[in-house]
Structure 1
C-alpha cells in the first residue's frame, strides 16, 4: 500500500507548522499540524471498492492489518503530513466565528498515477485545536451514515465527497443523542472521506471577518490554481477577471448541485456556510434524509425543527444566501462588485436551467416548456396533499400508459388510504393532462422510458434502511453495510430480488429516532 503525496495545502499556505496541544483561537493561519489519536483496536468494517480502485488500491491492500491501523489514525504512511484546517461560518443564519476541523484530520493529498489529486481525511480521529468542547471522535451510527451516503450519492450521479473506508475503533464514545441530559456510551468509528478538495465557503469567511486580507488573497489564489486550474493556466496572473470567473463557476456548480438534490429528493439538513464545498460537492453528511412522502417543508434535523430553515423546498434559496455570504467575504479582493453580482446571477440562471432539465428528464419529455414546469409543480402540490412517496411515484411513471391513464401503477406510493381516496380525482385529472402532453411530444416511447429511468431512481438511501444497517452493526454484524452499499451501487436498475430495498417507509419507521428526524450528535 503506497501513495504519492503532494501536500500543496500545507506547503504553500500559512499555517501552524509546530504541533501544539489544546483548543484555542488560531489567527493568521489556515491550518494547524495535528496527529490523529491512536485507538485501542482498529477493525475494518466496510470499504468502497470503487474509491479504492481510484486511489490505486487492490483488495489485498485494503484487507491487510496495516490498512486498518492507518485509516484509524494509529499509523502514518511515508509522505503523510496530517493537519486540521481553520475556518468559520454562518450557522442557521448567524455568524459563528471560528469553527474549523473539530474532528476531521487530513492525512495528505494523494496524487494517483492518472494525475488525480485526492485529499484523504479521517473523521473521528481525535481532538484538534478546533474541537472546542468536544472529543474529536465520532460514533458508529453517524459514521455508517456518512460512509453509505457518500458512496450512494456518487452512484446516483450527485456531486459529492467520497468515502474510502469505515473502521471501528474498539472504544466507546459518550453522546447525548437527543440533547435531553441522558448521554450514553456508543461504539466509536472513523471514516476516511476523500475529495479533490475540502475547502469550504467558511475558509474564506473567517479571514475576511478578521480583516486578514493577505491570508484571504493567498487562499483564493491557491484555490484557483490548485482546484480550478483551467481558469488560470500555470504562469498566468490571477486578475480580477479570473477572480470573477472563479466565483461565477462556484455559483454555477452550487446551482447544479441544488438541482441534483431536488431531483433525487435529498435533504442535507444543515446547510451552514461551513458545510458548503467550494467545488460544489455535497459535504458533511450529518442529519440528512430522503423525502419519503412528499413534503417540501420537511427537515431531518431536530435542531431545525422549529424554524425549518433547511427544509427540502428551501434548499436552493439557502444556497443562494450562502453564496451571498461568500461574495461578502471575497469582496475586498475586487475593485468593483459587478463580477460578484454577475456570479450570483449565474447561480439563478444555472439553477433555472438545471431545474427545467430535471422536469424534462423526470417526466420523459424531449424538452420542458413553461407549462411543463408548472405541470410538475402542480403534481408536487398534489403529492403533498395526498401523502404520496416521491421516489415511488416518479419511478412508477415509467409504467404509466398514456393511452389508458390510471392510478394503478402508483398504488404502492400512497401512505394513507383516506388521503388517496380524497385526492384521487385530482391526481387522475393530472395524469390525463400528462398523457395528452406525452402524446404530442416527439420522443419515442423507448427513448422516453430510458430517459426517465436514468432520472428517477428505483433505490435511494432512505433513513430507515440506513438505521437497519446501523442496528445490525451495533449488534456486531456489519454485513448490512455492505449489503446496502451493493444495492446503492445501481440505484437506477430494478435489481430483481431486492424489492424490499425499494419499498416506501414502513409505519414503524415514521417517528422512530434515526428513521425520521436526527440530531447533529455524532
Structure 2
C-alpha cells in the first residue's frame, strides 16, 4: 500500500535559492531599492478568509502533494496565512526592459516563493504565491491579485502544459475573502474586486531580468554567483562552470530553449501580450500570464494588451523578433562573464536558426506533410501566412477543420470545392467572398502538394489532429469562467479545465467550447481587450 501523500502544510521544503545566494534578511517590506542582494526574505501578508477554488490534481500528484480540503491548514499555506518551519519565503530582485525601455529595479512585487518540494522524478520544483502581499519590490502597488487575473493565470498555465507548450504551471487557486481595488483599463474607474492567490510552480522563476539587474548595478560577483547557481541546478549537462566556455554554451542553450518556446507559441496562435525581459524565463518556459490571448481572426498585428495598442510591439507576428531582442539584452548582461562578448553572438544565430527550423517542422505537421520538398514547402508556408492574414478566419478552427477536410479531399479531389467551402464557413468571421479568394487559391496549391505524400489519408488525419488543437483557452471562455466564479459558481471553471486537459480530443459533448468567438465578445472587456492590471 502506498504512503499517504502530505498536504502542502505537511511537506518538507528545500530552499536552494535562499541558502546558495545572497539575500537581505529584514522585516521591512516597504517599497525601496535593495542593492547588493539576489532576494529579500519576506513574510506573506495574511488574508481574511482563504478557501480553495481550484486544484491541479495531476500536477499535485507529480509534486507528491494531496488535495486539501476547502478550508484548513493546507489552504492557509496556499494563501500565505501559514508559513511552516521548512519554508523560507522570499521575493527575488530583478530588473528588466519594459516595452523596450530599461525600467531599473522591478522584482517580485506580489509574488512570494515558499521554497521547493521534490517531485516524483526527484527534481526540485519551486512553489510561489502570486498575490500574497507587499514586498520591497512592490513599488506603489499593494502586492495583491484579483480573482479575474488569477483565474486566467491558473487556467492558462495548465492549458498551455496540455497543449505541449513549455510553461510554468499552476497548482491552486484560492479566494482570499478580501477585496482589491483595481482600475482595469487605467482610465480613472477603479473598482473593488474579489482577491485571489495562485500557487504557481516551476523548477525556478529566475528570469532574464535577474541577470540584467546584477549587471546594471555593477554587482559582478552576484551576477556570477547567480549564473553558477542556475547552471549547476538546471543545466548540469554543461558541467561545472569553471570558465567562459561554459557560460557561452549555457547562453546558446538558453537561446535554443527560448526559440523552441516561441515556435510553440506561434504554432498554436498564442500571444503573450507583455514580453518584457523580466517576463522571460531563463529555462525557456512561458511565464507571467497577464494580457494574453489566442488569435481568432488571423492577424499578425493583433495584441490583446491595451497598453501596447500604440506600438503593437508585442503583437503575434512580432514575437519571434522580440524574443531575439530580449536575448540580446541578456547577452549584454552575460558579456561580463566571458572574455570576448562576440563569443555570445553564435547563440543569437542559433536562436534564429532553431526558431525557423522548429516552426517549419511544426507547420508541416499541422498540414499533414511528412515527405521533404524543401523549397516547395517554404513557398507554400510563406503564402499560407499571407492567405490567412488576408482572410478573416479563426486560426484554431481553420487548422482543426483542415485536419478533417484534407484526407477527404485527398481521397476524392472532386470534392475539394465543397470541402473548402464547408471549411471556410466553419472557420471564417466574414461572409465576403473576395476575402476568401487568396485562401481558396492557397488551398488548391496545398492539395497539389498533399497529393505528393505517400502516407495513407487516415495517417495524415491522425498526424494533423495531433498537431491542431480543437480547444484553446479563448478569452471569452476565460471571461465566462471568471464571471461565474465571482458569483460563486465554479462549474464553468471546472468544466473548462477538464476540457483543456485533452485539447486534441474531439470531446463532442463539449462542442460549444470549440466554437468561434461570439459576436458579443468582439468588443467586450476581458474578451477582446485586456490590460496589465491584476
CA distance in 2, matches of 1:371, 1:294: 23
Match of 1:76 in 2: 83
Please give the alpha-carbon distance, in whole angstroms, between the structure 2 residues aligned to 1:387 and 1:452: 22
CA distance in structure 2 between the aligned counterparts of 1:109 and 1:238, rounded to whole angstroms: 26
Instruction: Work out whether 1:340 is the aligned partner of 2:344.
Output: yes
* 1:124 counterpart = 2:131: yes
Show structure 1 runs of 5+ residues with no match.
Answer: none
1:334-368 CA distance string (max 9 Å, x none): 00223301111110111111011012111101145
Q: 1:323 aligns with which of 321, 327, 330?
A: 327
Pairing partner for 2:416 from 405, 417, 423: 405
Distance 1:378 1:222 in 2: 45
Q: For each residue in 1:465-512, what CA deviation from the matched residue of structure 2 results, as whole angstroms up to 9, or x when unmatched? A: 000001111112122111110010000011011110000101000010
In 2, are the aligned partners of 1:151 and 1:162 still within 8 Å (CA)? yes
Counterpart of 1:196?
203
Cα deviation 1:357-384 (Å, max 9, x = unaligned): 0121111011452322331231222222
Residue pair 2:393, 2:424 contacting (<8 A) in 1 also: no
Q: What displacement does 1:78 show? A: 3.0
Deviation track 1:425-451 (CA, whole Å, cap 9, x = no partner) reads 333222121111111122222221111
> Kindly tell me: are residues 410 and 399 of structure 1, through their superposed partners in 2, closer, same or farther at Cα, counting changes over 3 Å?
farther
Cα offset for 1:315?
0.2
The question of whether the paired residues in 2 share the 8 Å contact of 1:111 and 1:118 is answered with yes
Q: Which residue number corresponds to residue 66 of structure 1?
A: 73
> Which residue matches 1:45?
53
Mapped partners of 1:38, 1:281: distance in 2: 30
Determine helix, strand or coil for the equivalent of 2:382: helix
Q: Is 1:6 aligned to residue 10 of structure 2?
A: no
1:91-149 deviations in whole A, cap 9, x for unaligned? 00000000000000001111235312110000000000000000000000000000000
Q: Distance in 2 between matches of 1:196 and 1:124?
A: 20
Match of 1:417 in 2: 431
Task: Determine the C-alpha separation between the residues in 2 that align with 1:428 and 1:350.
Answer: 31
- Indicate if the aligned counterparts of 1:405 and 1:428 stay in contact, CA closer than 8 A: no
Q: What is the distance in 2 between the residues matched to 1:103 and 1:188?
A: 13
Specify the SS of the correspondent of 1:493: coil
Deviation of 1:252 after TM superposition, in Å, equals 0.2
Q: Give the whole-Å Cα distance in 1 for the aligned partners of 2:375 and 2:276.
A: 32
Shift of 1:23: 1.1
Matching residue of 2:493 = 481
Q: Which residue of 2 aligns with 1:452?
A: 464
**Secondary structure of the equivalent of 1:21?**
coil
| 2:147 corresponding residue in structure 1 | 140
The CA RMSD over aligned residues, in Å, is: 1.2
CA distance in 1, matches of 2:121, 2:293: 35
Cα distance per residue 1:137-170 (max 9 Å; x no partner) = 0000000000000000000000000000000000
Distance in 2 separating the partners of 1:33 and 1:239: 31
Q: TM-score, normalised by structure 1?
A: 0.97
Cα offset for 1:64?
A: 5.7
**DSSP-derived class of the 2:176 partner:** strand
Q: Quick check: 1:181 aligned with 2:193?
A: no
Which residue among 298, 312, 320 is the counterpart of 1:294? 298
CA contact (8 A) 1:360 1:367 kept: no
The CA distance in 1 between the partners of 2:376 and 2:136, in whole Å, is 54
TM-score when scaled to structure 2? 0.95
1:417 alignment partner, SS class: coil
Count of matched residue pairs: 516
> Partners of 1:375 and 1:454 in 2: how far apart?
21
User: Which residue is 1:351 aligned to?
Assistant: 355
Matches within 5 A, 1:376-387: 376-387=381-392
Q: What is aligned with 1:394?
A: 399
Q: Secondary structure of the residue that 2:40 maps to in structure 1?
A: strand
Partner Cα separation in structure 2 for residue 80 and residue 284 of structure 1: 23
1:504-515 equivalent positions in 2, closer than 5 A: 504-515=516-527
In structure 1, distance between residues paired with 2:387 and 2:480 = 31
Residue 230 (structure 1) shift: 1.4
1:492 pairs with 2:504: yes
Determine which of 256, 261, 264 is the counterpart of 1:260: 264
- In 2, the alpha carbon distance for the partners of 1:383 and 1:28 equals 50
CA drift at 1:36: 0.5
Equivalent in the alignment of 1:110:
117
Q: Distance in 1 between matches of 2:526 and 2:376?
A: 39
